[in-house]
Amino acid sequence: MVKASKIWMDGRFVDWADANVHIMTHTLHYGLGVFEGIRCYECVDGRSAIFRLPEHTKRLFASAHISQIKIPFTEAEISEASAETVRVNGLKQGYIRPLVYLGAGSMGVYPKDNPVRVAIAAWQWGAYLGEDGLTNGIRVKVSSFSRNHVNSGMTKAKIVGNYVNSILAKREVIAAGFDEALLLDTEGFVSEGSGENIFIIKDGAIKTTSLTSILKGITRDAIIRIAHDKGFVVTEERFTRDELYTADEAFFTGTAAEITPIREVDGRLIGTGKPGPVTKAVQETFFDAVKGKDKSYDDWLWYI
Ligand code: PMP
């Protein structure tokens, strides 16, 4: 189990063991709450930096806006509290989890005047899909569960309840012996992983899914900039699973998953079955950027 010393709750730090909520917490019953996942890296100069903190905070507020939740703090306050949570726990690197939820009050689906609560936790977290996955790539399976339809789940919002869809898909493919799930949208086009966006490379051109049914990943955006800087053309459009099967390379992007190469999908090797040169190049630059080694991406780093 993950653990750290303190958790920020509604404006003050409480001990990890005391960071409890009432069982009548509305979000616990119905799933309307919003959250973020943010990474902090130890940089080459020994300092620590949070990767794209203002963008993550902005997305948290956008998710809340979509969900009609009014966060009782400003964006600046949430960003500062996120940084402070890393500091207070003495973390050099780790993962930060701001969570906005509806507290106890009215029951029933309509949260009339339930209080909006905010918590921020931070803890040590290694490679989400394993060190071996980062180096050698992972085995992916298309899930039988479709990504939420754009008019039933709000896919641009990181809403707590949206992740039931991800958990169903992930459990299904892990049980089948794979590492990660790929979900198709309700029309059958490639959408995203259970917690990652996807890129494919064919004949030197990079493609990622259009924003239609996916979460607008901050790592996805970073990779698009890195790829442009390397002179690649990146197109954003829908593609099919067989286009993925025949890609030369493929990789997932996400805060937790970072840049994880995909070596196999549904029993078909992707390219040679090993991470390809484009994947390796963007992955290397990504890690140089987050660790403050490549100064051209310093605007992404919030030093603490
Ligand atoms: N899609 C989903 C469903 C996710 O949960 C995540 C992780 N937040 C992503 C994509 C990747 O987004 P980001 O790069 O901002 O972490």
Query: pLDDT for 62-121, tens place per residue?
Result: 999 999 999 999 999 999 999 999 999 999 999 999 999 999 999 999 998 999 999 999
Between CA 161 and CA 148 the distance in angstroms is 11
Ligand 1 close to Cβ of residue 254 (< 6 A)? yes
CA torsion angle for 76, 288, 222, 42 (degrees, to 10)?
-30
One of 6, 141, 158, 207 is an active-site residue; which one? Answer: 158
58 is catalytic: no
The residue whose CA has the least distance to atom 3 of ligand 1 is: 195
Q: Average pLDDT, stretch 138-158?
A: 97
Distance 29 CA to ligand 1 centre (A): 24
Mutate to test the pocket of ligand 1, among 35, 59, 182, 215 (most ligand atoms within 8 A of CB): 215
pLDDT at 225 over 90: yes
Ligand 1 close to Cβ of residue 260 (< 6 A)? no
Between CA 125 and CA 223 the distance in angstroms is 22
The residue whose CA has the least distance to atom 10 of ligand 1 is: 196
The per-residue pLDDT for 2 is 83
Q: Average pLDDT, stretch 49-56?
A: 98
Kindly report the average pLDDT of the chain as a whole number. 97
Q: Do strands 258-265 and 138-142 pair parallel, antiparallel, or not at all (unpaired)? A: parallel
Ligand 1 close to Cβ of residue 36 (< 6 A)? no
Q: Average pLDDT, stretch 224-241?
A: 98
pTM, full prediction = 0.97
What ligand 1 atom has the least distance to the C-alpha of 214?
1
Q: For the chain, first and last CA: distance in Å? A: 26
Mutate to test the pocket of ligand 1, among 219, 251, 283, 300 (most ligand atoms within 8 A of CB): 219
Contact 67, 129 (CB under 8 A): no
Between CA 104 and CA 30 the distance in angstroms is 12
Distance 45 CA to ligand 1 centre (A): 28
What ligand 1 atom has the least distance to the C-alpha of 197?
10
Contact 40, 48 (CB under 8 A): yes
Distance 198 CA to ligand 1 centre (A): 10
Q: Average pLDDT, stretch 187-202?
A: 98
The residue whose CA has the least distance to atom 7 of ligand 1 is: 195
pLDDT at 3 over 90: no
What ligand 1 atom has the least distance to the C-alpha of 218?
15
pLDDT at 12 over 80: yes
Q: Average pLDDT, stretch 276-288?
A: 98
The residue whose CA has the least distance to atom 12 of ligand 1 is: 217
